[in-house]
Amino acid sequence: MAVRLFSKLKTLPEIRAAYASSAAAAAPVQLSDFDLQHKTPVIRKQQLIPKAHYGGRHAVTMLPGGGIGPECMGYVKDIFKYIGAPVDFEVVDIDPTVDNDEDVQYAITTIKRNGVGLKGNIETKSEAAYVTSRNVALRNELDMYAYVLNCKSFPGVETRHKDIDIVIIRQNTEGEYAMLEHESVRGVIESMKVVTASNSERVARFAFEFAKRNGRKKVTTVHKANIMKLSDGLFLETSRRLAKEYPEIEHNDMIIDNCCMQLVAKPHQFDVMLMTNLYGSIVSNVVCGILGGAGLLSGRNYGDHYAVFEPGTRNTGTAIAGKNIANPIAMINASIDMLEHLGHHFHADLLRTGVNAAINVDRILTPDLGGTATSTEVVDAIKRNISENH
């Protein structure tokens, strides 16, 4: 008895020390990106909304969008339930045929209060001039100025180039997508491309910070400043100026047409790429094509306060909707990005290993990647791999 008590006493200080350290750990030592976004000082005057994070669970807006969106979201929900991810989805459906903006405004409000969204591609069926693209409206309204596309090869997918690892960072709110067009004289239409110093600086800083935080070596600015000397010139100049603040990161620039050629010929020379809106759209689709098509990669939209995750290429895939052949990987990858952003690294890792094993080891691929599996078979393979690894 006495011996047992003695041993108990001896271990006591250690237990206490352990408790003390875990008490310090009670406040999250490493803040998740989600927490950081809710801590950053307000850059634009915005109403501060308390974060939707209760009892360890996050509320997230889900916008299924059109085409294959709803079925992919179904798979994501299914898998999240399976791995027990502490996320509650608030689903907002947007009717693509309606001409008014009510649904979109509501969706934007929900993202504002949840802070995070997961979205498919939202269709804008109306071609009336006064109806803006819903996707663009969403990004502008939430001021999500940076778009990040992680392009990393999956060894299990047959492609011309192997081991590609490029990050594309795209200015997301201005440039050619300023949506300022008018017909000055009959038959003459002018479309304005707007480049501002403040937005260029924000996205350039984002790119360099991203490179620094993720241990990247090089940032390439993509532009067409030889033709558009003022607008693209400003963008290029800003990134050159900021590059001086990050001497440890190499910086170079490349003209967009050359860049596309280099990408398909020698993609390994690129590390982090920084570009304006339209070029970003084109280049991300080129890289997605190189890596295996629209169904694999996931993109992230960041603002100062909000983050929205979506499949990397913005195609709705209406033609294959409902046929159970859509590739669910892109949406699942987007959901992994979202889990990382929220700080749920455990669940993100779980899901990532499941996806990697399903694609690279088991090689359960949908027809777009040259396989024969259906969407549900892919999802089942991921689940099976998760339970085997856990």
Partner 1 sequence: MSLISRNIFRALIQGSQHVGKGVHTSAVNLQENVCHASQSISSLQSSAKEGRIKCTLIPGDGVGPELVYSVQEVFKAANIPVDFESFFFSEVNPTLSAPLEDVVSSIARNKICIKGILATPDFSHTGELQTLNMKLRNALDLYANVVHVKSLPNVKCRHHDVDCIIIREQTEGEYSALEHESVPGVVECLKIITAAKSERIAKFAFDYAVKMGRKKVTAVHKANIMKLGDGLFLRSCEEMAKLYPRIQFEKMIVDNCTMQMVSNPNQFDVMVTPNLYGNIVDNLASGLVGGAGVVAGASYSAECAVFEQGARHIFSGAVGKNIANPTAMLLCSANLLSHVNLHAYSKMIKNAINKVLSDGKVRTKDLGGQSTTKDFTYAIISCLS
Please give the residue ranges that form the binding site for partner 1 (CB under 8 A): 5, 8-9, 12, 19-20, 22-23, 25-26, 28, 49-57, 59, 81-84, 86, 88, 90, 106, 109, 112-114, 345-346, 350, 386-387, 390
Using CA atoms, how far apart are residues 251 and 253, in angstroms rounded to an integer? 7
Q: What six digits make up the tokens of 280?
A: 């970003």
CB of 104 to partner 1, least distance (A): 13
Q: Are 368 and 323 in contact (CB under 8 A)?
A: no
Q: 250 pairs with which residues across the strands?
A: 218
HSE on the CB side for 321, CA within 13 Å? 17
CB of 247 to partner 1, least distance (A): 37
CB of 23 to partner 1, least distance (A): 4
Angle between helices 277-291 and 256-265 (to 10 degrees): 10
Measured from the CB atom, is 5 or 265 closer to partner 1? 5
Q: Are 117 and 111 in contact (CB under 8 A)?
A: yes
Measured from the CB atom, is 22 or 184 closer to partner 1? 22
By the 10 Å C-beta count (0-12 exposed, 13-18 middle, 19+ buried), 18 is classed as exposed
Measured from the CB atom, is 84 or 370 closer to partner 1? 84
Geometric angle at alpha carbon 232, from 123 and 312, rounded to 5°: 30
HSE on the CB side for 369, CA within 13 Å? 30
Measured from the CB atom, is 272 or 351 closer to partner 1? 351
Which residues of the chain form beta strands (DSSP E)? 53-54, 57-63, 87-91, 116-119, 146-152, 165-171, 175-185, 188-194, 218-223, 250-255, 272-275, 298-302, 307-311
Nearest to 131 by CA among 162, 98, 90: 98
